Structure 1
Amino acid sequence: MPPKKILCIAEKPSIAKAVSQHMSGGQTNVRTTKNKYIKNYDFTYLFAQPWGECAVTMTSVLGHTVEWDFDDAHRKWNSCAPGALFEARTVQVIGEKTKDVATNITHEARNASMLFIWTDCDREGEYIGTEVRDIALKANPRIMVKRARFSNIERAHILHAAQNPIDLDERQAAAVSARIELDLRIGAAFTRWQTTALKAILGSDQIVSYGSCQFPTLGFVVDRYHKIKNFVAEPFWYIKVMQKRDDIHVTFNWNRSRLFDRMSTVILFERCLLEKYATVISTVSKPARKLKPLPLTTVELQKQGSRLLGLSSQLVMTIAEKLYISGFISYPRTETDQFDKAIDLRALVDKQIQSESWGQFAQGLMDGGFSQPCMGKNNDKAHPPIHPVAFVAPSALATADERKVYELITRRFLACCSEDAIGETTTVNIKYGDEHFHTSGLIVRKRNYLDVYIYEKWVSSQILPKFRDGERFIPTEANITEGKTSPPAYLTEPELIALMDANGIGTDATMADHIARITERMYVFAQPKTRGAGGGGGDAEEEMDNEPAAAGRGRGRGHGRGGAARGGGRGGAAAGGGRGGMLEFIPSNLGIALVEGYDKIGFDNSLSKPFLRKEMEEKMKRICEGTMTRGDVVHSSLEQYRDMFIKASRQVGILQESARKYLGP
């Protein structure tokens, strides 16, 4: 009797190839399919009971296989009024680009007794898994369905997942389904409406796209722009006291910091001079500690990749995905900043001993320097923090940027497993006239994690000379210094990501895409930060394992992660995929016009503000928790946005006037 057949389906071809190699021990029979990117790998594998030894076919999809769109009566731009799209009938279809993918699933599922889904273990992966399941069930209604839970593609981890199948998480899939429908309806309705409303002013057929994540992201950029534009510098004054002792120049800082009234500063300064002598009030030495970093999350990786490496968040995520697919790091989409106690962290540290750059530090951890990582406040219950799962020699990575990202992830992990840096601070407080001043010095006693986490600095300052409590001295120099307040800088990418994260705009894995979208749509311009920018290098356009650029998540119609209803595509350097320094964002005239227009309409929750989208994201979480249904979320969110749409339609002149102000002749 031939063994039972199990059909395994991954989310992308590279994962299918890697998993099949681990499960088969490298002994696979490879078959081509009608899709040039997808191959079928045949082998036998001994599963846990009750499955036992089975014939396995491992294949993949290319991200989403099913597209959401409106029916024929509403699909074309002029087929209906834009407001009708809030309740128009939607359809789910297999598009031309994925027809061969679906055909392969159908063909292989007919003779299989079990469907074993290997899509990524996150919310989007659960939904893609349901797409695969539904296609397979149409071909074989009797097929059983399970999924694998995995966080990296290291061999031992994959084999453990193969032996411990679980069920698909229907709640997570329902949350994604709700988001797709909402983004399709809301995005299409507002995009068609505002494009038509602004066509005459723009003087072209330009599509003015709307996305419920992109517009709040744009709003943050415009808000910072206005703060810069409206900034008025104010002069201020402060008193500085200096003392030279033992050939050391000591500067004492004013406890008031600064005053915005020159005459008040002069009066206080004159009282100091009348006193002549300064008195040491206290000299305090106490231990100091610089805390080691928390385990690495996706948002933190994007922020630090931009700030420390000078790479765009989109490029950082592209590289992290490639490192994950190659089996070098854990799954790079995670909100978790705490390691489960069951993870053998010492074994992971031990793998890094062979590194020429940080191997000696790793050896020190194994020889007694290991300290359990700190526990953050976040745990998505799905994946551990991002960490290396294998040592990779620099020569094994294709680009300088890949080496930088892998090094950042590895050094961060080793720093988490080390001790805090230890030092000692000395603070001298003096009174001069009626005013108080202070100075401080630092001595670093033990660098600990700083020896490996080269991105942070904590260095000993010049040693302070001896001061005794109660002693009096005549300052070597005392004067009034004038300064001016300076405007804030344009939003940098790490700052923008932090704002999106704090306001619930997008998910940890989609923020970079939303930033890229508003740049692609020319609502903002991205440029390397002129001050304090980091360096970068590498190739943002490199494809992974020859997989199609148009495949995967966040592309196409109605199936992106939080995008607008239509559009997509890979961004270039200006779209968040570039290099050459940390990016900062400046809004275009169109971007300013859109935000100002919607704000002036007088919404309690303007479409350029984060509140509506944040509330929607909270409802998605409640679907996952089981406290709200998919239908309830779709209905309540659509009603909120429909109300906004009606208000905007009634006051369209305000939006048009804003556009004329910034875009007119």
Structure 2
Amino acid sequence: MKVLCVAEKPSISKSISQILSGGRFATRATGSNFVKNYDFDYPQTNAHFTVTCVAGHLLEHDFAETHRKWQTCDPFALFEAPIVTSVAKDKKAIEANLRAEARNADQLMIWTDCDREGENIGAEIVSVCRQSKRNIVVKRARFSAIIAQQIHNAAQHPINLDMAQAAAVDARIFLDLRIGAAFTRMQTMSLQDIFKQHITSVVSYGPCQFPTLGFVVSRYNQVQAFQPEQFWYIYLALTSNTSQEQEETPFNWRRGHLFEFDVALAIYEDVLRHPRARVIKVTKKETKKWKPYPLTTVELQKAGSRLLKLAPKKVLDIAEKLYQGGFLSYPRTETDQFDPQFDFMTLIAKQTVDPAWGAFATGLRDNNGFTTPRKGKNNDQAHPPIHPTAHAGNLTGDDKRVYEFITRRFLACCSKDALGFQTTVDVEYGGEEFSATGLIVLERNYLEVYPYDKWSSKELPDFQEGEEFVPSICELRDGWTTKPTLLTEADLVTLMDKNGIGTDATIAQHIETIIDRGYVLARMEGATKYLVPSTLGIGLIDGYNEIGFDRSLSKPQLRRQTERSMVEVCQGTKTKNDMLAESIDQYKEMFIKARREFQKVITNVRTRLEGGGNACCCPRTPSRRIR
């Protein structure tokens, strides 16, 4: 039997060939400089394999010539205009190679990435190959990591291609093309005609792009509208002498703080009439700092931004490269729980050779340090959480930092929770209640390998219930409410994930898009990157918000509904055509109202562009003051 195996990328096809053939394969050139064909016998299934690849999507989609040029039609017509699907011009050589190889194959085995997009690319491959051999048998290899065990298992136990997932992606592609083109043409032509000096490039619209921008503008507007408010609180502390130095133990006021000065002053003066404070309760208990959950794509993006100071898109690109190199499992997953049969020990053993965390891995393996990872609430039924599949000792730069974070996270998940002993002291002073909390860390456990979490001891004096003492400090202090900060990339990832904007794999791309379009600027303050909307970005979002949609184009509701509809298509409870019809009708209604009231967008853009705008130059300024 002759089997044609098609991977999604050149590096994957070569890795698959090396694993399945044991390194014994013949290489043939193709019409594409990037694509090679690899031939070898695979005795495990009594077959001859040819492994090749595509380079992402083969097909491209565009409007017919009658609607392709901007001046040929009203933008509204794009909601119904015919769409032409064809092989992309730069993929013609890949298409020719697939058709030639399929002609002599008995079976086509799809080896694309195991996600929705991979299923869709697989369906494209099938459509091309069946032009040469209509009755070719189609199978799908399912794997989560480029490691021998999984690749052999995928080759020997193929499944069927999930055409429902492929259809869901088709629906999204067609929908985004129609919506994006219609709104982009409408707003670009309207704005360029009025603001010739300010707007010379396309003012693009995207159904994920604008809600993403909307989050950034909304936070910016909150920051701009913020008015600091003064508050007052009682600061109580006891100074005790140790062998080294004086230690100050602060107590938190149970009321927190008050905004009425006269009330705070009256309470403070009443407290001062009492010379001594009394300990009313001492609570001592064991406590834990929970180890982290297994790693998902969204959490990787957030951690990459907050801890590694890397853009979410860059973190995913590095993780993808490490996956293709065989060092990581598939990096696009919503799952934060490992299967009960998962082989932890084999993977932990591979990390025992590392000079930085090898000793910790050895302890997990040999010294009863291992405990089963915590179970999160998410399972996409497709891929396990992100984890290392091999030791990588020669990485450098950001590749090394991303791999190290993922590996330390995996080892931390397999360790024990940190254990401590917590003491809480409740104090009554002049009728007011205060409290202080101390901690002694007894066992660091997972913290030994996971420096990204902090937990340190803070000892309290040995207080006894009923004990009285004279406070060293009792002052009425003031402070100011703190303005919200502008969004960081990690904040934006969280908001997009929570509101269903994009998928775990596309969130980073949408953030990069609004930055590339000039709608958002990245500003550094110290080591933190904040997202600041441009004057055009603010004008567009504020303008659409003024139109008063039930579901504004800058809000997440419409896109969230689209994502839910895609899930229904994947589950077979809704057809691709039904999803398209429903969504297009909704956006048609929005388009009609937006165009009718577009003067509100124009007015807001004019205010920002010609008035200079108020885009924040300093993302965060301290507003809290203590005296």
Q: TM-score, normalised by structure 2?
A: 0.95
Alignment check: 8 A CA contact 1:430 1:437 kept = yes
Query: Offset of 1:469 from its aligned partner?
Result: 0.9
In 2: Cα distance, 1:342 partner to 1:241 partner: 54
Equivalent of 1:510 in 498, 506, 512: 506
Equivalent of 2:484 in 488, 491, 500: 488
The residue number in structure 1 matching 2:617 is none
The sequence identity of aligned pairs, in percent, is 52
In 2: Cα distance, 1:652 partner to 1:192 partner: 13
Alignment check: 8 A CA contact 1:47 1:162 kept = no
The residue number in structure 2 matching 1:234 is 229
In 2: Cα distance, 1:250 partner to 1:602 partner: 53
In 2: Cα distance, 1:520 partner to 1:202 partner: 20
Query: Offset of 1:62 from its aligned partner?
Result: 0.5
Tell me the SS of whatever aligns to 2:399: helix
Equivalent of 1:466 in 451, 455, 462: 462
Confirm whether residue 355 of structure 1 aligns to residue 369 of structure 2: no
Confirm whether residue 346 of structure 1 aligns to residue 345 of structure 2: yes
Residue deviations 1:202-239 (CA, integer Å, cap 9, x gap): 31431000010010000000001001111001011100
In 2: Cα distance, 1:418 partner to 1:329 partner: 20
The residue number in structure 2 matching 1:612 is 558
The residue number in structure 1 matching 2:29 is 32
Query: Offset of 1:124 from its aligned partner?
Result: 0.3
Q: Which structure 1 segments of 5+ residues have no match?
A: 534-581
Query: Offset of 1:464 from its aligned partner?
Result: 1.1
Tell me the SS of whatever aligns to 1:199: helix
Tell me the SS of whatever aligns to 2:313: helix
Tell me the SS of whatever aligns to 1:139: coil
One-letter amino acid matched to 1:401: D
The residue number in structure 2 matching 1:155 is 148
In 2: Cα distance, 1:589 partner to 1:7 partner: 53
Query: Offset of 1:251 from its aligned partner?
Result: 1.1
Tell me the SS of whatever aligns to 1:195: helix
Tell me the SS of whatever aligns to 1:134: helix
Confirm whether residue 207 of structure 1 aligns to residue 206 of structure 2: no
Q: TM-score, normalised by structure 1?
A: 0.90
Residue deviations 1:232-257 (CA, integer Å, cap 9, x gap): 01011100111123443211111111
One-letter amino acid matched to 1:295: P
Query: Offset of 1:47 from its aligned partner?
Result: 4.0
The residue number in structure 2 matching 1:405 is 402
Residue deviations 1:546-567 (CA, integer Å, cap 9, x gap): xxxxxxxxxxxxxxxxxxxxxx
Instruction: Tell me which stretches of 4 or more aligned residues in structure 1 moved more than 6 Å.
Output: none
One-letter amino acid matched to 2:498: A
Tell me the SS of whatever aligns to 1:91: strand
Tell me the SS of whatever aligns to 1:374: coil
Residue deviations 1:373-413 (CA, integer Å, cap 9, x gap): 011000000000000011111xx22x310000000000000
Tell me the SS of whatever aligns to 1:275: coil
Query: Offset of 1:428 from its aligned partner?
Result: 0.7
Query: Offset of 1:664 from its aligned partner?
Result: 2.5
Alignment of 1:566-585 (within 5 A): 582-585=528-531
The residue number in structure 2 matching 1:376 is 376
Alignment of 1:202-601 (within 5 A): 202-203=195-196, 204-247=199-242, 248-367=247-366, 368-393=368-393, 396-397=394-395, 399-461=396-458, 463-528=459-524, 530-531=525-526, 533=527, 582-601=528-547
Tell me the SS of whatever aligns to 2:200: coil
Residue deviations 1:505-540 (CA, integer Å, cap 9, x gap): 000011110000000000000123x14x2xxxxxxx
Alignment check: 8 A CA contact 1:253 1:437 kept = yes
In 1: Cα distance, 2:506 partner to 2:400 partner: 23
Aligned residues: 604
In 2: Cα distance, 1:207 partner to 1:169 partner: 37
Tell me the SS of whatever aligns to 2:351: helix
Equivalent of 1:44 in 28, 33, 41: 41
In 2: Cα distance, 1:40 partner to 1:473 partner: 83
| Higher RCO (CA-CA < 8 Å; seq separation 6+) | 1
Query: Offset of 1:644 from its aligned partner?
Result: 0.3
One-letter amino acid matched to 2:427: I
In 1: Cα distance, 2:310 partner to 2:147 partner: 27
Tell me the SS of whatever aligns to 1:216: helix
The residue number in structure 2 matching 1:562 is none
The residue number in structure 2 matching 1:541 is none
Equivalent of 2:188 in 190, 195, 219: 195
Query: Offset of 1:295 from its aligned partner?
Result: 0.3
In 1: Cα distance, 2:239 partner to 2:299 partner: 43
Tell me the SS of whatever aligns to 1:188: helix
Root mean square deviation of aligned Cα: 1.0
Alignment check: 8 A CA contact 1:201 1:663 kept = no
In 2: Cα distance, 1:664 partner to 1:240 partner: 49
Q: Which structure 2 segments of 5+ residues have no match?
A: 612-627
One-letter amino acid matched to 2:555: K
Residue deviations 1:631-656 (CA, integer Å, cap 9, x gap): 11111111111110000011111111
In 1: Cα distance, 2:43 partner to 2:591 partner: 57
Alignment of 1:134-173 (within 5 A): 134-173=127-166
Tell me the SS of whatever aligns to 2:273: helix
